[in-house]
Chains A and B, each alone.
Chain A
Amino acid sequence: MTKEEIQTKFVDIVNDVTGLPKEQVQPAKSLTEDLKIDSLSMVEIIYACEDEFEIAIPDDAAKSLTTVQDALDMIEGHLAQSD
């Protein structure tokens, strides 16, 4: 899966869970500060990522995410492990 594909899918997930417009979900944006995604929504986003990308994301990994880019890197890392 390419970086672009990962980003497109992740943006779709964030839009689906939170209702945030897709164009706002940019890599440099902070998940909590800029996008105001609360902790419960973050749990739903992680669930959706696990299903969409067929990966297992540990609880503490999700807590260490700051930006959208962090999330994309984490997903890419998990996908690389499962290859």
Chain B
Amino acid sequence: METIVITGLGVISPFGASVEDVWTAVRDGRSGIGLIDEPWAEDLPVQIAGRVHDDLSQWIDRVAQRRLDRGSQLALVAAQQAWRDAGLDQDRPDPQRVAVSVGTGIGGLQTLTDQEQILRKRGPARLSPFTVTALMSNAPAAQVGLQVGAQAAVHAPVSACASGAEAIALGVDQLRLGRADIVVAGGTEATISTFGIGAFASMGALSRRNSEPSAASRPWDRARDGFVMSEGAAILVLETLSSATARGARSYATIAGTGISADGHDMVHPDPAGLGQQQAMHKALVDADLASTDICHVNAHATSTTAGDSIEAQAIAAVLGDSDCVVTSTKSSTGHLLGAAGALETILTVQSLRHRLAPPTINLDDPEPVPINVASSATELPDGQLAALTNSFGFGGHNVCLAVTNQHAN
């Protein structure tokens, strides 16, 4: 079976439009969460989020800004970075051998609510002719496909907060099946609005720690009270080792295995026994031909919800056993990028292996007793071969685990 390597990385997040910047911020334990200091948030019970502060007009022209949902725009920014980072702007691969797999959790929510306003004020005859192509959930993938000229296929997996990770898993499948040599894969999300925050808040899913934004995302801390919504996009270039070798590309890491499962339990709540989560991790280990003792680091899904963090900790312990594996939740710094989270955390896992450093889980002032080794400060990883897991779970009971190693990294 083909070995799949990562040859390009791209990101836009609350820490800016640079992989180095997000890695440095997470490594140093900074928070990307802030107060939403805008009139539209005044009536919301939740007034904190991790916003992208970059002016997108640096990358997206005026016409495209009007026609594309913000989620698609963010995906294009990250994809352009990843494509160039992989040297593909120079190497110009055969479009028939390039595929795209980019997911989003929700889709073009801002477009939907903007057009709803127009519908109410001016009637259906004034809806933008670009409404459908902006809000559909395959729009970011399709836009990235147009940008890179992908003709093998364009996929847009939708599995809530597991979308970004599932997109990577699907990309790995396509490469292994020989359907493409290069897959541009990842996720994007832009739902920080009255509607987006209001809807998640009404579920009781979001932290209401409005008075201390940077302390709001606190996985495994006893005082946690929900996740913090962030926005952004993260895109990776996945490539067969033979393709990467043939064009002399730099390889960051290997995606050694993928594991997908479904809880079959509840729409919102994870199975308290965590069996689905365990299955996803177990499948990833088997697929990667790794033993549980090989795993030195887990970038957990842990979003800072009361039940979710505990269940995942138990599930990790059940799969990895009594190990000194270093577990961290980078969502403590970045917040939860929903459909982009799995892709961002894969990038951060790659960086952790490259730098042999597990970033800290910040705000862990009063840790809940858990059967795993949570890093509350940056923790060095051992020498030699390294293998890590990154988990992503989504409403609907979607569980995705990716196994990343430093094999073939150069």
Do A17 and B126 have beta carbons less than 8 Å apart?
no
A69 at interface by CB-CB < 8 Å: no
| Inter-subunit contact B126/A47 (CB<8 Å) | yes
Q: Is A17 a contact partner of B129 (Cβ separation < 8 A)? A: no
Query: Shortest CB–CB separation between residue B301 and chain A, in angstroms?
Result: 39
Query: Closest CB-CB distance, A58 to chain B, in whole Å?
Result: 11
B267 to chain A, nearest CB (A): 36
Interface residues on B, range: under 10
Contact B129 A44 (CB under 8 A): yes
Q: Judge if B59 is at the interface, Cβ distance under 8 Å.
A: no
Question: Is A17 within 8 A of B63, CB to CB?
Answer: yes
Q: How far is A40 from B131 in the complex, measured between Cα atoms in Å? A: 10
Q: Which single member of B62, B126, B128, B129 contacts A19 (CB below 8 Å)?
A: B62
Set of chain A residues within 8 Å of B37, measured between Cβ atoms: none
Closest to B132 in A: A40
Asked if B61 is at the interface (CB within 8 A of a chain A CB), the reply is yes
Instruction: Verify if A30 is at the interface (C-beta below 8 Å from B).
Output: no
Within B58-81, which residues are at the interface with A (CB < 8 Å)?
61-63
Q: Does more than half of chain A's interface fall in helix, strand or loop, or is it mixed?
A: helix
**Which residues 21-54 of A have a CB within 8 angstroms of B?**
39-41, 43-44, 47
| Secondary structure class of chain B's binding surface, majority of residues | loop
| Min distance, Cβ B69 to any Cβ of chain A, angstroms | 15
Interface residue? B130 (CB, 8 A): yes
Assembly CA distance A47 to B126 (angstroms)? 7
Write out the residue numbers on chain A whose beta carbons fall within 8 Å of the beta carbon of B129: 39-41, 43-44
Cβ-defined partner of B128 (8 Å) among A16, A18, A39, A44? A44
Name the CB-closest residue of B to A41: B129
Bound Cα distance from A45 to B18, whole angstroms: 37
C-alpha gap A16/B67 in the complex (Å): 12
**Interchain CA distance A47-B125 in the complex, whole Å:** 9
Report the bound CA distance from A10 to B130 in whole Å: 21
**Residues of chain A within 8 A of B130, CB atoms compared:** 40, 44
Docked Cα-Cα span, A47 to B61, in Å, equals 21
A43 to B126, CA, bound (A): 9
What's the least CB distance linking B132 to chain A, in Å? 10
Residues of A within 8 A of B61 (CB): 19
Instruction: Please determine whether A18 and B126 come into contact, CB atoms closer than 8 angstroms.
Output: no
Interface centre among B128, B129, B130 (most CB of A within 10 A): B129
B65 → A minimal CB distance (Å): 11
Min C-beta distance of A10 to chain B, whole Å: 17
**Within the complex, which residue of A18, A39, A43, A47 is in contact with B63, where a contact is CB–CB below 8 Å?**
A18
Give Cα A57–Cα B80 distance, bound, in whole angstroms.
40
In the complex formed, the residue of A with least CB distance to B128 is: A44
- A39-B133 Cα distance, complex, nearest whole Å: 14
Bound-state CA distance A39–B130 (Å) is 11
| In the complex, chain B residues 92-137 whose Cβ is within 8 Å of any chain A Cβ | 126, 128-130
Q: Closest CB-CB distance, A54 to chain B, in whole Å? A: 14
Can you identify 11 A-B contacts, CB atoms within 8 angstroms?
Answer: A16-B62, A17-B63, A19-B61, A19-B63, A40-B129, A40-B130, A41-B129, A43-B129, A44-B128, A44-B129, A47-B126
Rank and list the top 6 A-B pairs by shortest CB-CB distance, nearest first: A43-B129, A40-B129, A19-B63, A40-B130, A44-B129, A19-B61
